[in-house]
Amino acid sequence: MIDFSLSTEQQALVEKARDFTKTFVSPVAAKHDRSGEFPHEVAKEFFKAGLMNPHIPKEFGGHGRTVLDHLLVMEEISVGCTGIGTAIDANSLSQTPVIVAGNDAQKKEFLGPMTEECMFSAYAVTEPEAGSDVARVKTTATKHGDDYVINGVKWWITGGSVASWYFVLAKVDTKPTGFLVPADTSGIIRGAKEHNLGQHCSNTVRVTFEDVKVPSKYRVGEEGDGFRIAMDTFAHTRPGIAIGATGLARAALNLSLEYAKRRRTFDKKLISNQGISFKLAEMITKIDAARLLAHKSAWLVDNGKDNNREAAEAKWYASDVAMEAAVQAAQILGGYGFTNEMPVEKLIRDAKIYQIYEGATEIQKMVIVAKLMRLREV
Amino acid sequence: MSEISRLADKITTALKKRVYGKTFYCPVCHLELAYADADADGLVVCPLCGVVIELADVWGHPLPVVHDVEINRVQPKARMHPVLTHAPVGLLPFALLGALFLAVVSLLAHLLPSGENALLHSNEFQALLQAMPAISQITLLLLGLSVGFSLFTGISGYVDWLRRYGGRPYKVIQLKIYLTIAFFVVGLAALLLHATGMVFGADGLVAASLNGTLMTLVYLGLLSVQMGVIAVLGHVGGYLVFGR
């Protein structure tokens, strides 16, 4: 049975997130884009509204929401601003390894406090020489008695300078292993904020670990489980990236549509030109397709099914749709799509990262092909 | 320093939000305008560059769509308002300085030791005390001119608003009108205190009493409020003329 409708609770969640976006996100999007300031105030409101940290299980004080529920919220937030969306939702990425592979003591210690106050955590996996090729990480964790000592450099860590703790992927001998590291541990050095092309208010920094001592109880899973945990995490979080991109594409469509219905050229409305209206038709169709892929990949993981291929499809396709929609929106607005006084040029800058982070488009295609090669037919 | 500028930014943003409500920027000249500036059809004419904007709100994002431009705008025949503006702005700081000087000299006159060789009895200080009534009168004159000119500045601004801006109820102009009224009323109160001798006596000094001290503080407070008001007025006016 296929049912594309939302439950009453889900519909209420969408409306709540939509109101939140219009009240707290969109009005400050341009300001944060210009200043690059981390959106602490928005995050506090997000937390107060009960929309932050949706995945934390109820037994640890969280909402215990499904991945699909999370997508419904994040699509609305992303229509407002994907920079703010990334900043206030980066917790999801770092919390997921704890949720999927952590023990109860770790969940209580690291996730519990995040349900009581607005706090941040960060997923410290990427390194200067290891982005898409996660298994190549050079950070080491050396066993000393009952502790591990971590040394290495993590790069482009979202939320890195506001985090209270990190999920760190390091190698014990040659085995990739995950650790939970409180941010106030001696030896952690947070770098300056990176000045990126887009999503300016998302806090992206370098985090250096110099002889950082971590007790064994903070190891997630067994030694050597790190790569699997990182990949399992992406199965939960890539649908979220796909929906963020979908939200951005929706923003591009909303702006283009309103503009094309109002602006007059050659004595008629812009939308009356087929060259413009067809762009809008293509945008909505691709947005619908991207959303369906994202929802399906979320539904699969919520129901305990393998979603690797579908999550990769969703992430790849939606990020391309976001980029294309943003560029087309600028084309529809003409010169006004190129000025930073209008909200469209920001969409182009913000969209690009979707084709890169949490596995570049090329990696998504590799995941899809890897799955495809195991099939006789489709 | 960044903390101070962040705090200042927070206060400015909160005040702006209170006065203007939600705002957007003219996509042509970058002037910040209020949503409330749009008429019933959602149209706004930018007071700076003259483009006719249809304002749409898309998910909380302002989307100003430019439809037209007023290229034959009424220009002021004599630029009275910009010229007159400089009179109250230029005179008030000197009135405030005069008032501060009078207050400080009064303080010294009342507090300095009165021995044979004391500063109080020096020829220079005695000469200064003799000049105090004149300084008080000059301060009063400067204040009077500043407040008086503000009336003409306000009237010329009002005429400009009707002619050049078509009397459109822009929030920024409303703010200027309210601030001008505030400047004038506060200025009149300060003038009254000074002219009636409630602050400075015939000798140009503050009376050595609690009442004298209180009146001086109120007087200086009123002048300070005027300085603040005129600083905001000047900033807002300059922004309206030159944009961002």
Q: Is A156 found in the same domain as A87? A: no
Side chain identity at A92, as an amino acid letter?
S
Report pLDDT for B73: 72
Q: A278, exposed or middle or buried, with CB in 10 Å at 0-12, 13-18, 19+?
A: exposed
What residues of A are in contact with residue B54 (Cβ under 8 Å)?
Answer: 262
In B, what residues contact A, Cβ < 8 A? 22, 25-27, 30, 54, 56, 58-67
Helices vs. strands in chain B: H and E counts, helices first: 5, 5
Residue A268 sits at the chain B interface (C-beta within 8 Å): no
Q: What's the confidence (pLDDT) of residue B116?
A: 62
| Nearest C-alpha in B relative to A27 | B60
A362 and A238 assigned to the same domain: yes
Beta bridge partners of B63: B56
What tokens appear for B42 in the block?
């959602």
A2 found inside a domain: no
**Domain-located, residue B145:** yes
A218 and A254 in one domain?
no
| Contact: B60, A27; criterion CB under 8 Å | yes
Taking only residues 202 to 261 of chain A, the set having a beta carbon closer than 8 angstroms to any beta carbon of chain B reads: 251, 254-255, 258-259
A132 and A86 in one domain? no
User: Is B9 inside any structural domain?
Assistant: yes
Global ipTM: 0.79
| Closest chain B residue to the Cα of A337, Cα to Cα | B27
Q: Are residues B161 and B180 in the same domain?
A: yes
| Interface membership of A14 toward B (CB under 8 Å) | no
What pLDDT, on the 0 to 100 scale, is given for residue B106? Answer: 92
Residues A242 and A336 occupy one common structural domain:
yes
Which two three-digit tokens encode residue A193? 């904020």
**Domain's final residue, options B69, B101, B126:** B69
Q: What is the pLDDT of residue A132?
A: 79
A105 part of a folded domain: yes
Q: Which residues of A are catalytic?
A: 358
Q: Which residues of chain B have pLDDT under 50?
A: none
How far CA A312 is from CA of A100, A156, A240, A309, in Å, comes to 19, 21, 11, 5
For residue B23, the enclosing domain spans 2-69
Between CA A279 and CA A256 the distance in angstroms is: 9
Kindly determine whether residue A25 and residue B60, on different chains, have CB atoms separated by under 8 Å: yes
Domain boundary among B47, B69, B91: B69
In this predicted model, what pLDDT tens digit does every residue of B133-149 receive, in sequence order?
Answer: 999 999 999 999 999 99
What is the chain B residue with the closest CA to A26? B60
Task: Mark whether B6 and B54 lie in a shared domain.
Answer: yes
Q: In this structure, what are the phi and psi dihedrals at residue B2, rounded to the nearest 5 degrees? A: -65, -30
Please check whether residues B180 and B89 belong to one and the same domain: yes
Among A115, A140, A158, the domain-final residue is: A115
> Is B54 in the same domain as B122?
no
Through-space distance between the first and last CA atoms of chain A, rounded to whole angstroms: 20
Q: Examine the domain organization and report whether B90 and B167 are in the same domain.
A: yes
Minimal C-alpha gap between A342 and chain B (Å): 7
CATH code: domain of residue B17 = 2.20.28
- B129: tokens are 């005390």
Asked if the structure places residue A350 within a domain, the reply is yes
Domain-embedded: residue B147: yes
Q: Which of A84, A262, A266 to mutate to test the interface with B (most CBs of B within 10 A)?
A: A262
Q: How many domains does chain B have?
A: 2
Q: Are residues A184 and A266 in the same domain?
A: no
Would you call A262 and B65 a contact, using CB atoms and an 8 Å cutoff?
A: yes
Q: Do both B231 and B138 map to the same domain?
A: yes
Our CA angle for A84, A357, A223, nearest 5°, is 110
Q: pLDDT at position A333, please?
A: 97
Tell which of A81, A336, A346 to mutate to test the B interface (max B CBs under 10 Å): A336
Cβ pair A22:B59 closer than 8 A: yes
Residues of B in contact with A280 (CB under 8 A): none
d(Cα A124, Cα A92) in Å, to the nearest integer? 13
Same domain for B217 and B114: yes
In-domain check, residue B178: yes
CATH code (residue A93): 1.10.540.10
CB contact under 8 A, A259 and B30: no
Q: Find the domain containing A167 and state its range.
A: 121-223
Could you tell me if A214 and A241 lie in one domain?
Answer: no
Say which CATH number the domain at A351 has. 1.20.140.10
Residues of chain B contacting residue A255, judged by C-beta atoms under 8 Å apart: 58, 61, 63
Does residue B48 sit in the same domain as residue B158? no
* Shortest distance, CA A22 to any CA of chain B (angstroms): 5
- Let me know whether A161 and A191 are in one domain: yes
Instruction: Compute chain B's Rg from CA coordinates.
Output: 24
**CB of A342 less than 8 A from some CB of B:** yes
CATH number of the domain to which A162 belongs: 2.40.110.10
| pLDDT at residue A161, rounded to an integer | 95
Q: Are A159 and A203 in contact (CB under 8 A)?
A: yes
A1: in domain: no
Single-letter amino acid, residue B97:
L
In a domain, B10, yes or no: yes
| Low-confidence residues of chain A: pLDDT under 70 | none
Strand partners, A212: A150
Last residue of a domain, one of A80, A115, A150: A115
Residues A217 and A245 grouped into a single domain: no
DSSP annotation of A108: I
Number of domains making up chain A: 3
In a domain, B182, yes or no: yes
Instruction: Write out the DSSP string of B180-200.
Output: HHHHHHHHHHHHHHHHTTSSB
Question: How far is residue A323's CA from residue A354's CA, in Å, rounded to a whole number?
Answer: 8
Rounded Cα–Cα distance for residues A182 and A218 (Å): 9
What pLDDT score does A165 carry? 98
The upper half-sphere exposure of residue B197, i.e. CA atoms within 13 Å in the direction of its Cβ, equals 6
Does any CB of chain B come closer than 8 Å to the CB of residue A28? no
Please name the residue ranges forming H helices in chain A. Answer: 8-20, 26-35, 40-48, 67-80, 82-89, 91-101, 104-106, 226-262, 274-302, 308-333, 344-352, 361-372
Distance, CA of A315 to CA of A46 (rounded, Å)? 25
A with B: how many residue pairs have Cβ under 8 Å apart?
53
Domain boundary (B19, B50, B69) is at: B69
Q: Is A377 inside a domain boundary?
A: no
Contact A127, A137 (CB under 8 A): yes
| Predicted pLDDT at B115 | 65
Per-residue burial over B166-177, b if 16 or more Cβ lie within 10 Å, else e, is eeeebbbbbbbe
The reply to whether residue A342 touches residue B60, judged by beta carbons under 8 angstroms, is no
CB atoms within 10 A of CB B74: 12
Residues of A in contact with B66 (CB under 8 A): 263, 336
Is B94 in the same domain as B208? yes
Quick one: B93 and B45 in the same domain? no
A13, A93: one domain: yes
Q: Of A176, A208, A223, which residue is a domain's last?
A: A223
- Other CB atoms closer than 10 Å to residue A58's CB: what's the count? 10
Best interface-test mutation with B: which of A250, A342, A345, A346 has the largest number of B CBs within 10 A?
A: A342
Clarify whether residues B112 and B185 are in a common domain.
yes
Nearest Cα to B18, choosing from B224, B174, B222?
Answer: B174
Same domain? For B208 and B117 the reply is: yes
Of A262, A339, A343, the CB nearest to B61: A343
For residue A186, being part of any structural domain is answered with: yes
Please answer whether residues A55 and A96 qualify as being in contact, where contact means their C-beta atoms are separated by less than 8 angstroms.
yes
